[in-house]
Amino acid sequence: MVSPPPQRHLFVVFGATGDLMQRKILPVLFQLRASGKMPEGSLVLGVARRPIDDATFRALARSSLESAKVADAARVQAFCDASLFYQSVPDETAPSFAALRARIEAIEREHGLPGNRIFYLALPLDAFAPTLTGLGVAGLHTAPGWTRVVIEKPFGRDLASAEALNRLVHQYFDEKQVYRIDHYLGKETVQDLLVFRFANMFIESLWSRERIDEVEITVAESLGVEARAQYYESAGALRDMIQNHATQILTLVAMEPPATRDEDSIRNEKVKVLQSVVRIAPGDVVRAQYTAGKLSGASVAGYRQEPGVAAQSDTETFVALRLKIANWRWQDVPFFLRTGKRLPAKATRVVLTFKAPPVSFFQTSEEYEANPDRISILIQPDEGFELAFEVKVPGRELRVQTHRMVFHYRDVFGELPDGYETLLVDVMLGDPTLFVRADEVEESWRLYEPLLRSPPRLSFYPAGSWGPAEAESLVREWGHRWYTE
């Protein structure tokens, strides 16, 4: 079924002079306008504290877009001049938000917009509450058309703060107006998990404890903390990656078939997965921090030597954990999740390892040790799917090798859209399927709350390695090993 096109609207970005807007959101909005996915006549209003005017904001945006090489200078100039506006909101007081409302209404009158509004909060966590309150007090939670609010992660920093933020959001906005964005859910491979599983009967018939021995989810980064030390020191890998990105992938891998394709049916099944996870014991978790090492032949500093990091910081840059899901499909199948900075490669993938045959004469061969079959879901950097299986090497001698059948999206469809591009189109269309619902974010925080209150002791690993020895022991204790090929 073809979706109706998005309606004309005003796209309001709080934090418009910040890094996320200039590096990610602005280039995506340009591409959406250029491709016709953002309706002609829709406009962008940047909001931030800086006391600048439209012309200065357009110059800043033009510089960012030219640096991103999205198009030639003339097209960039035309977009900025025709589509971008700016309003300073120097504080969270009622007069500042009243002035914002007046500016929004003036732009809509002048350009004949129907009163449809998207408020994108590209802000730090501590700015969400006063901004949402300011919108509500100014009456900007309602409009002549529709109103939608997009909230970046992190949505809270623990269960209590997430619940409080949800209460505040719902004081002014209905849940159907709220889009809690996680850019990982915009990646094609993550979205295609539903098609891969539920449109291919032979895949779905294998997707359970009868055939699957273990599931591994890896979100690896080769970068260090970079310029995010202030944020990262208060967050750490558990909050920054596991609670949202890795857990979102977990729910899509483990969910049951939804009754229908509508957004609530899909999100209901994701919540059921979180509710079925067995409480994670401290002994099922490894926290670690990178020390000095080598990456791609170059020496790199340890986390505690990074600018802005405390000399005795206890913040983890690596987490590995094992968990089980107590339901009929996954009972006794271990799920291993790990994420880390300064690992050997940037890679996000899901690996499902099949059980070995119950009886196999290959397992008794001195020349050959049977390798299990695997399905790998490659989320980044090379989106696609991979099936690893055993084949006989031609010749009289019985020699067996593991070979792979690989599907990469780029080989068939070319370059894929950015995750933000997919998600922003969904916001414009009013489709919340790929966004996190209130109960889902709370269940996710509830799952990790005990680990946040009583974090396991900190281990260490050299930059350029796949993590500490304790992470290897974590999977070996259950008879498994991390997949690192």
Residues classed as catalytic: 245
| CB contact at 8 A, 416 and 409 | yes
Rg of the chain over Cα atoms, rounded to whole angstroms, equals: 24
Measure the CA–CA gap between 482 and 322, rounded to whole angstroms: 12
Measure the CA–CA gap between 442 and 243, rounded to whole angstroms: 10
* CA dihedral of residues 157, 160, 166, 171 (deg, nearest 10): -130
For residue 435, which of 247, 183, 228 has the smallest C-alpha distance?
183
| CB contact at 8 A, 45 and 13 | yes
Measure the CA–CA gap between 405 and 388, rounded to whole angstroms: 7
Residues 6+ apart with CB under 8 A from 92: 130, 131, 133, 134
**Tokens 């010749």 found at:** 395
Residues 6+ apart with CB under 8 A from 6: 37, 38, 39, 42, 425, 428, 429
Phi/psi at 222 (nearest 5 deg)? -90, -20
| CB contact at 8 A, 133 and 139 | no
Residue type, 292: A
Measure the CA–CA gap between 236 and 317, rounded to whole angstroms: 6
Q: Give 405: exposed, middle or buried? Use CB within 10 Å, 0-12, 13-18, 19+.
A: exposed
Structure tokens at 1: 């079924």
Measure the CA–CA gap between 394 and 400, rounded to whole angstroms: 9
| End-to-end Cα distance, the chain | 40
